Each structure stands twice: as structure tokens, then as C-alpha cells.
Structure 1
């Protein structure tokens, strides 16, 4: 089901975001921009 895949995607997305913020706070702005683009692509599928 699409909703299950969506939930899994969101969980992976949040995990990746948390890891990136822990690893390097300086790049968090860039990562947010990239994350937003990825999220938009994900939602548009």
C-alpha cells in the first residue's frame, strides 16, 4: 500500500535528518534544502 511506503519513507527521512544534524550542524541548512526537495519529489510520485 502507498501509505505504508510513505510511512517508511518518512521514518528513513527523519533518521537521516537526525544523523546529519548530529554529524555536522554547519551543513544543516544545506541538508534542509536538499531534504525539502527530496520530500517534494517523494510527495509528487
Structure 2
């Protein structure tokens, strides 16, 4: 299961591999964890 993070600064979902300790690497802003139970096929 993949965790998705919502970045308010970027107004976009970001992958967990670009997030370090709750901070989006690209912009340095905190992200919100969006737990996605559904499988998007």
C-alpha cells in the first residue's frame, strides 16, 4: 500500500519517496498524509 501526501504549497499529491520527515523535499513545505485504501487501476 502506497501512502500519498498532499502538499498545500504545490497543490498536488506527492509520492512518499520525495517526502522526508513530513516535509516535501522539492518545496520544503509540510505535507498531509492521505491514506489511500482504494486501489486505482
* Same fold per superposition (TM over 0.5): no
Structure number with the bigger relative contact order (C-alpha 8 A, sep ≥ 6) is 2
Larger radius of gyration: 1
Higher helix share: 1
TM-score norm. by structure 2 comes to 0.30
